[in-house]
Structure 1
Amino acid sequence: MTKIKDVAKLANVSTATVSRVLSNNYSATPKTRKKVMDAANKLDYHPNALGRQLRTMETKTILIVVPNITNPFFSNVLLGIESVAFENGFQVLLTDTQNQKENEEIIFELLRNKQVDGVILLTARTNATMLNQLSQDYPIVLACEYILNTKIPTVSIDNISSARKMTDHFFQLGHQRVAHITGPMEIVLGRDRLSGYKQSVLEHQPSVDPLLIQVGDYSYESGYQLMEKLLAIQQPPTAVFAASDEMAMGAIKAIKHQNKHVPNDVAVSGFDDIKMARIFEPTLTTISQPAIKIGNKSAQMLLNIINKKEIKKEHIVLEDQLKIRESCGSNIK
């Protein structure tokens, strides 16, 4: 079996240099790196990962926790995390909680047992007290969502202001009956986007009509079902802001099934700017989150914590964009 000293002998370097190169330690020069990699490839040498972990107490692995892997928004966040992780010699382990709190303990055990070096949570739907305690001893970063009154580092957008901006756009187009299909109220994103919607409504009207607020679960199916309810009320909305693109697409389908037109009869917008938003018919007006950048920033922040580097900002708020497309229209009948 090929050993590290065999690679060092062939490359004419020390075993320490081979170790640095194969562990992605960037103190080696490009020339030395090439010599080592060529020798390792020629000898078909593969480092013993378990041995390295025992020596360094590092796994070179980070865990990413998603609440629902079927949600297409998370794919670009994952790409952003993976690109930074791979550049720095880390591998990525992915787990889907499926929005079930009983799955959380598995995550915490991986940290306690040193099976991963750190965790990026793409959900705050967890035991906040336990998470706060763990973050004092283990590297943890929250991305996309956040927990109030915590020092856990976070990367997200301002969901309140972005929801307000989206709702303001409908009022600027002349709509007076603007509805909102929210996310679940036990999730901070659902509460924040509803808050932004209400702030906008109260800036333009004396009160918020509770009939125009329906609570969904971010899925296509809930958007469809809740749009049917909105169309059934005595004074249906002329515009609907859905708290996710999938719910917005479900809402558009329900409108079409009643032989109504989007946006002439009912204008619709979503949130996230998933890939389908640009090719759906009609193309979807939405709030675009910088998903890849959220992933990049959260991964870099986690690696800084793992490497005991100073974090200049514990809470990073990135800029979103209002993407105006066909589904909101520009004229009101």
Structure 2
Amino acid sequence: MSKSTPATIEDVARLAEVSIATVSRAIHTPEKVAKETRLKVTQAIAITGYTTNAMARSLRLGRSNMILVVAPDIGDPNFSNILIGLENEARAHGYGVLIGHTQNDPQRGLEYLKFLNSNQAAGMILFTGILPFGHQTMTARLPPSVGVFEPVYNGGIPYVGVDDAAGARKAIDLLITEGHRRIAFIGESRTRLGHARRKAGYEDGMRAARLELDPGLIMPGDGTIESGRLAVEQLFMRDTLPTAFMCVNDQTAIGVMLALTARGYSIPGDFSVTGFDDVPQATFMNPTLTTIRQPRTAIGKQAMALLFKLLQDEKPEETEILLAPDLVVRNSVGAPRSLPKR
């Protein structure tokens, strides 16, 4: 086949040693094709470049085989693994992925909706937790969309993510089992639903153990390292000290650990710390961070599968799919000592 000649479905079928009908099924209804056969077809598509040509043809016909992924921060350690799941599932259905990086700028999110209005994208995966402000003025109705990583606040769109409350319960139950009774929660938020759900899990665990919920030990935070460091400083200024810190995510936990270490305290000798997410940095901390692991690749895969149901005008059985998280026990949690002196 000449490099200048566009690949055809016949080329894919010939290389994969299957029928043209099988190639078509592998692209459009992959769940009906055996895994081994689907792999052969996928490899043949990659070699021939047929997928790219199919996408180009769909655009010329006024339809798109692209999915828009809108993310506030592509540097977030959670993003890449969720994207792997999204992209793998999209490719299995003959679709590609466009990444819209908003950099936490609402105007950028609105600009990316132009891809949907101009038929350059068929649907949207939303990482931001909010719909682009003013989207109603740009599109008559929201296209098929699914939220991931952060539930969409008042968005009314389906969501696939981790069971935040269940994960928080696993972390708080571990700390209580180790003997901690004064446990701070770092990362309260009134605008991020995921953070609110993790706080709810913390509160449920404390109540289940019949422990006092001290409002002075619940600290706000935006999920950054700096917010964790600031929370520690504020608690020391108030002279309201816990024996353990349950953090809304790993970035916050890293900030807490750095602040405690800077004050000369040891972890877990003086304080225990838990995180949430299991980002790569968790294993590089000293001590290594006990945390809750999100099934990020599985979240991406299920979110994209749900989006394809919406694209086919199927009504999903569930509008919220929560995957079970895992507790990862490392070295940042131990039994409490008496409260350290300031």
Normalising by structure 2, report the TM-score.
0.79
1:54 aligned residue:
60
- The 1:314–1:210 alpha-carbon spacing in structure 2 relative to 1, beyond 3 Å, is closer
Are 1:115 and 2:159 matched, yes or no?
no
Normalising by structure 1, report the TM-score.
0.81
Matches within 5 A, 1:72-151: 72-126=77-131, 138-147=143-152, 151=156
Q: Which amino acid aligns with 1:256?
A: T
2:329 aligned residue:
324
The 8 Å contact of residues 123 and 145 in structure 1, kept in 2 or not, is answered as: yes
Q: Distance in 2 between matches of 1:315 and 1:190?
A: 17
Q: Distance in 2 between matches of 1:88 and 1:148?
A: 29
Match of 1:290 among 290, 295, 306: 295
Figure out how many residues of one structure are paired with residues of the other and give that number: 321
Matches within 5 A, 1:297-316: 297-309=302-314, 311-316=316-321
Q: Distance in 1 between matches of 2:73 and 2:64?
A: 26
- The unaligned stretches of length 5 or more in structure 2 are 15-19
Are 1:223 and 2:231 matched, yes or no?
no
Q: Once the 2 structures are TM-superposed, how far is the Cα of residue 128 of structure 1 from its aligned partner?
A: 8.4
Residues 99-131 of structure 1: CA deviation (Å, up to 9, x unaligned): 332322113222122111111112222358958
2:258 aligned residue:
253
1:66 aligned residue:
71
Please, which moves more after superposition, 246-255 or 160-169? 160-169
Matches within 5 A, 1:136-285: 138-147=143-152, 151-205=156-210, 207-285=212-290
Please, which moves more after superposition, 239-248 or 306-315? 306-315
Q: Distance in 1 between matches of 2:148 and 2:54?
A: 32
Residues 11-41 of structure 1: CA deviation (Å, up to 9, x unaligned): 8xxxxx69x77x945799x7xx98xx69x96
Q: Distance in 1 between matches of 2:331 and 2:308?
A: 41
- The 1:129–1:165 alpha-carbon spacing in structure 2 relative to 1, beyond 3 Å, is farther
- The 1:328–1:96 alpha-carbon spacing in structure 2 relative to 1, beyond 3 Å, is same
Q: Distance in 2 between matches of 1:73 and 1:311?
A: 25
Q: Which amino acid aligns with 2:147?
A: L
Q: Once the 2 structures are TM-superposed, how far is the Cα of residue 312 of structure 1 from its aligned partner?
A: 3.4
Q: Distance in 1 between matches of 2:214 and 2:149?
A: 29
Q: Distance in 2 between matches of 1:329 and 1:3?
A: 62
- The 1:2–1:188 alpha-carbon spacing in structure 2 relative to 1, beyond 3 Å, is same
Q: Distance in 2 between matches of 1:83 and 1:183?
A: 34
Residues 187-244 of structure 1: CA deviation (Å, up to 9, x unaligned): 1112222222233333445643222122111111221222222233323111001111
Identity %: 28
The 8 Å contact of residues 310 and 316 in structure 2, kept in 1 or not, is answered as: yes
Q: Distance in 2 between matches of 1:292 and 1:100?
A: 26
Regions of 4+ moved over 6 Å: none
Q: Which amino acid aligns with 1:273?
A: D
Q: Once the 2 structures are TM-superposed, how far is the Cα of residue 299 of structure 1 from its aligned partner?
A: 1.0
Q: Distance in 2 between matches of 1:203 and 1:134?
A: 47
Q: Once the 2 structures are TM-superposed, how far is the Cα of residue 331 of structure 1 from its aligned partner?
A: 5.4
Please, which moves more after superposition, 309-318 or 143-152? 143-152
Residues 15-71 of structure 1: CA deviation (Å, up to 9, x unaligned): xx69x77x945799x7xx98xx69x96x99x8385443222x322111111122222
The 8 Å contact of residues 101 and 125 in structure 1, kept in 2 or not, is answered as: no
The 8 Å contact of residues 149 and 161 in structure 2, kept in 1 or not, is answered as: yes
